[in-house]
Amino acid sequence: MTWRDVGARAVRVRGRFRSLPPRAVDGGLAVLVAAAQLWPFAARAGVGGPWSGWGVLVVLGSAAPLYWRRKHPVPVLMVSLAATSGYDYVSHVPSQPVWYAALVAIHSVAERSGRWVRHTVVVTTVLGSFVLASSESGLRMSVLCVAAYALGRAAASGRVHAERLERERQAETEKAALAERARIARDMHDILSHAVSLMVVQAEAGPVALATDPARAERAFDAIAGAGRDAMAQLRGILEVLDPDRAPGPERAPQPTLADLPVLTAGSGLTVEFAQTDGSGPTVGYPLPGGAGQRPLAPHVETAAFRIAQEALTNIVRHAGTDRARLHLHWQEDRGIVQLDITDDGAAAGRRPARSLPSGGHGLINIRERARSCGGTAECGPRTDGPGFRVRARLPLLPPS
C-alpha cells in the first residue's frame, strides 16, 4: 500500500467520522476516555488490587461530562478538573495521571468559547496545576494544557474557514442560479417578443391583401403559423431546462447560431439587406462564418449574436415604421472581435413612425446584457449618419489555435 492509498483512506475515514451525529461522537469520546483511564484498574488487578471503588467513580466522574462538552464547555472542564484533582486524594488506586478528560475539555473550551473566557480558563488551569501538583507534574500538565488549547484553536480556525468556504459556495451557487434565471428570462423575452410581433404584423397585413393579392395573404398566414410553431419549439426546449425530470422531446432544437440568421431574417416580416466584411473585402448575401480569414465564435457568443440580431429586428418591426433593415457583420481579426450592426432608415414619408404594439421596455437592456455576458459590448441609439436607429454589438472571437 502506497502513502497515497493511506492518505486517501484517512480522508474517507475522516469524512465518515464527521458525518456522525455530534451526540454520538461525544458519547463515544466519553466512553473512550473512561476506558483508557480505567484500563490500569483491570490490567493491574492481580498486582495491587482489589482497587478502591471510589477511584473508579472519580474516573467516571471526570469522563462522563464530556458528553455535554459542545454545549457547556466551561462547566464540563470545571467538573473534569475537580474529579481529576480528587483522584490524588483517593487511597488504594493505580498510580496514573487522570488527565485525559480535562485535556479534551480544555480543547473544547479553546474551540467553542469566547476570547476572554478561554484565556481566563487556560491561565487558571495552568496555575492551578502548579498549586495542586508537584513541580514536575505541574510542568507536564501545563505543557499538555497549552498543547490542548492550541489544538482547540486550530480546530476552531478550521471550522470557521470551512464555514466561510461553504457560505462562498452557496453564494456562488445562488449567483449562478440568478444568472441562469436571467438568461432564461432573456430567451423567453426574445422568443415571444419576436414571434408575437411578427404574428401581429402579418395578421394586420393578411386581411388587407386577402381581396387584392390572395398569394400574399397566404404567405402572411403561413408566416404566422411558422412563427407560432418556432416559438413553441423553442419554449419547449426552455421548459425542459427548467424541468430536468422531463425527458427531452424530439422537437428540442440546439441553440441558434449565426448560421440561422437567414431563417431569422426571412421570417422577420422585413426586407433585410445582409452583408459581411473581413480582411478580403465585402460579401453580400449569406456565406456566414467559416470563410477565409474568419475565426469561429464560441457557442455562447454565436447564440448571443443571434439573439441580439433577433431583438434588434423585432424592435424595427415594432417601432421603426419601415419594412426594410440592414444587418452587417464585420470580422475584425486584428482586434479579435466581430462587429454586428443592425440599422434601419426610420419611418417612410407619410407613414406612422411606430406600430401600435406594446413594449416591455427591456429589449435594449437585454441586448446590452447579452453582449456583456459573453465579454462583449453593445451600443443602441439613433443613427448619427442619418435617420433611423442603430444597434451595434462587438463580440469576442475565439483566440487563434
- Identify whether the C-beta of residue 313 lies closer than 8 Å to the C-beta of residue 267: no
Tens digit of pLDDT for each residue in 64-104? Answer: 999 998 888 888 888 888 887 777 777 777 777 777 888 88
Q: What is the mean pLDDT of residues 229-258?
A: 61
* Residue percentage of the chain with pLDDT more than 70: 71
Q: What is the pLDDT of residue 281?
A: 59
Is a pLDDT exceeding 50 seen at residue 312?
yes
DSSP 3-state assignment of 35?
helix
What was the pLDDT predicted at 292? 41
For the cut 80, the answer to whether the pLDDT of residue 112 exceeds it is yes
Where is pLDDT greater, at 60 or 285?
Answer: 60
Confidence bin at 252 (pLDDT 50/70/90): very low
Residue 266 in grid coordinates = 426571412
Residue 395, pLDDT above cutoff 90: yes
Q: How far apart are CA 390 and CA 340, in angstroms?
A: 10
Q: What's the confidence (pLDDT) of residue 394? A: 94
What residues does CATH 3.30.565.10 cover in the chain?
A: 259-401
Distance CA 7, CA 1 (A): 10
Report pLDDT for 392. Answer: 94
pLDDT tens per residue, range 144-165:
888 888 888 888 888 888 888 8
Categorize the per-residue pLDDT at 251 as very low, low, confident or very high, splitting at 50, 70 and 90: very low
> Which value, to the nearest 10 degrees, does the dihedral of the CA atoms of residues 224, 263, 188, 228 take?
20
Nearest to 81 by CA among 119, 124, 34, 51: 124
DSSP 388: S
136-148 burial code (b ≥16 CB/10 A, e <16):
eebeebbebbeeb
Phi, psi of 239 (to 5 degrees): -65, -35
- Predicted local confidence at residue 340, as pLDDT: 93
pTM above the 0.95 mark? no
Closest CA to 319 of 341, 348, 346, 350: 346
Is residue 341 over pLDDT 90? Answer: yes
Pair 138, 130: CB distance under 8 Å: yes
393 or 94: which leads in pLDDT = 393
Residue 49 has a pLDDT of: 60
| Range from 123-127, 161-165, 216-220, 351-355 that averages highest in pLDDT | 161-165
Using CB atoms within 10 A of its CB, is residue 287 exposed (0-12), middle (13-18) or buried (19+)?
exposed
CATH of domain 259-401: 3.30.565.10
Which has the closest alpha carbon to 395: 266, 270, 334, 305?
305
Sequence-ordered list of residues with C-beta below 8 angstroms from that of 153, at least 6 positions apart, any chain = 110, 111
Q: What is the pLDDT of residue 391?
A: 94
Instruction: Write down how long the chain is.
Output: 401
C-alpha cell at 390: 442603430
Helix, strand, coil distribution of the chain in percent, nearest 5: 65, 10, 25
Task: Give residue 317's pLDDT.
Answer: 81
Q: Is the per-residue pLDDT at 3 higher than 70? A: no
Between CA 64 and CA 105 the distance in angstroms is 11
DSSP H helix total and E strand total for the chain: 12, 6
Pick from 243, 222, 239, 230: which is nearest to 306 by CA? Answer: 230
DSSP letters, 170-204, are: HHHHHHHHHHHHHHHHHHHHHHHHHHHHHHHHHHH
Can you tell me the mean pLDDT for 302-313? Answer: 88
**Is residue 333 classed exposed, middle or buried when 0-12, 13-18 and 19+ CB atoms within 10 A define those classes?**
middle
Per-residue cell: 109: 473550551
Which residue stretches of 133-260 are H helix? 135-212, 214-242
Residue of 226 and 36 predicted with greater confidence:
36
